[in-house]
Amino acid sequence: MIFTYDLLILLLAGLSAGFLAGLLGVGGGIIFVPVLSWYLEKTGVDSHVEVVMVIANSLALACIMGISGTLSQKKKGYFFPKPTLALGMGGAITSVATAYLISHTEMYDKRTFGLFFSILLIPLIVKMFRAKDTSGEVEEAEDKNIDFPKWRLFLVGLLTGVVSALSGLGGGVIMIPLLNSWAGLSMRKSGAISLSSIVIIAFFMSIYYMTTSAIDVPKMPLTFGYIHLPVLLPLALGVSVAAPFGVKMAHKMSGTTIKWIFVTLFCLILIEMNW
């Protein structure tokens, strides 16, 4: 049962995550994961089940957030179907495969993954931050042109799918530095492609978690597989409302400012994962 103060916390968390996701192109998991953990701990579910439910519901929210943000980006001319499809399909393959392993085994360890995640992404963030920014008319011109092999985007998607399934973060934290530093795309464009790709990756994972047989999940009302609607819906409402405002703000900021915010967010994610 959700009390009034629980509902308020969930709505505020959804608003914050939606704005952040629209601004940067990330999945909002840095907010979803601790809030979902807080709520599910109150239900008394087993720790392994809680981990899976947190990831499942976080990714379902990332899908909703991605749809809201992508619609706003499309209105501004920042929707790129081909790279989105290449990234999204690659991520969908590995994310569902990884999700199957998580839900059917107890091999997953948050601390081990946090260490691996840090070793993987810290060099990328450093390279991204040192890369020369494009701004103004130069950035706008680049953002209308994508000349990057689709097979490389597919590889980025494969890696993103694993990270998404293990963390519940949606994948933006790995897609954006790779697109910015490896593909040489602007922060604004990287965020827009990341946002739309998250929709595909998170959609397939949400369907998997919703339809999989979850016999170890406690009998709770309005729960389908690992997806728990009473906690999902208030967060989703906040996400849907706030994501377009984050997108609007992203188009008013410089690439350098967005990059600083992203690096700050990344540091917070590292602390959360390795604490």
pLDDT tens, residue by residue, 221-266: 888 888 989 899 999 999 999 999 999 998 888 878 888 888 888 7
Instruction: Decide if 43 contacts 207 (C-beta within 8 A).
Output: no
Q: Which helix (H) or strand (E) holds 266?
A: helix 255-274
3-state secondary structure of 225: coil
User: Residue 106 has what pLDDT?
Assistant: 67
Tokens 């997108």 label which residue? 247
Distance CA 94, CA 102 (A): 12
User: Residue 183 has what pLDDT?
Assistant: 78
Distance CA 185, CA 100 (A): 33
pTM given for the model: 0.81
- R_g of the chain computed on alpha carbons: 18
Q: Give pLDDT < 70 ranges for the chain.
A: 1-3, 106-111, 113-114, 116-117, 120, 124, 127-147, 170, 213-215, 218, 272-275
User: Residue 271 has what pLDDT?
Assistant: 75
User: Residue 172 has what pLDDT?
Assistant: 81
Q: Classify strands 223-224 and 227-228 as parallel, antiparallel or unpaired.
A: antiparallel
User: Residue 226 has what pLDDT?
Assistant: 87
